[in-house]
Amino acid sequence: MSDKKSVSAFRVLKSSIIEIKNDPLMYSIFLFPVYLLSLISFSYDDFIIVNNQDFEFYKYSSNSYLIGLLYALVESYIFAIIAVSIHNKIIKRNTTLKLFSIGIIIYAVFYLANHAEFLGYLIYNNLTISFAVIINLALGLLWMIFYITSFLWLLYLPNISVNDKKSFFYIFKNSYGARLTIIVQAVYLIPIFLIPYLILTLLGGIKFGIIFTVPFIFVLAVTMLSHTYLEWQELERNTAEKNK
């Protein structure tokens, strides 16, 4: 019986890299649409303005914001399908592709929140100033709470993705053994992202660096979350056995 009391961040990282190495074809399929969407959105950011950092960003037309919103919704949906597929592949060893599920909806909302700045400008551009300020302040507060507390409930994402039927509050209450490791994993991902990003940025500019590093980090992060969930399940079983 294992005496393990917490999930090992290093073991999760190692297992995730091995997972990707052992199934390059499947991960190439996962990565392709992410790279394609990143390439399109950053290369044509005057048309798809979601990632545009222009200081006159707010002056774009309503049609531009509509195109940006449609893109953000499509991107979030596709990213959600990929994330749910990775969770099912690793946790349940199920490679069936799902196009709709509660997990996909929740993941899509999670990723759409990454476009908070764009959504804020969209609201500001299409509503009266006073109403837009109120909505943006409310959404900004929700966004802060959402991300600041995410390490407390992040394991709910793989749980709902594989339909394990543990409630949100069960995850919140019982995932203490995996919470610190999620923060440590985020620290691990920083140099994994920064080193290739800086090299590629020097070679081809900021957009070039983002296009060719962020998609891999996204897929790696989801894979690590899957293995964190597996390790947490083992920790739960060990704890249950000790309490018998």
Stated pTM of the model: 0.87
Please, which pLDDT band fits residue 243 given cuts at 50, 70 and 90? low
Asked whether the beta carbons of 38 and 217 are under 8 A apart, the reply is: no
Nearest to 31 by CA among 96, 111, 86, 88: 86
Confidence (pLDDT) at 1: 36
pLDDT digits 0-9 by tens, 7-66: 888 899 999 999 999 999 999 999 999 999 999 998 888 888 888 867 566 678 888 889
Q: Are 4 and 238 in contact (CB under 8 A)?
A: yes
pLDDT in tens, 90-127: 999 988 888 888 999 999 998 998 888 888 888 887 77
Percent of all residues in the chain with a pLDDT value above 90, rounded to a whole number? 41
Output DSSP code: residue 44: T
The overall average pLDDT reported for the chain is 87
- Mean pLDDT across 145-169: 86
3-state secondary structure 5-49: CCCCHHHHHHHHHHHHHHCHHHHHHHHHHHHHHHHHHHHCCCCCH
Altogether, the residues listed in the chain come to a count of: 244
DSSP secondary structure string for all residues of 196-219? HHHHHHHHH-HHHHHHHHHHHHHH
pLDDT given for residue 158 in this prediction: 94
Distance of CA 71 to the CA centre of its chain: 17
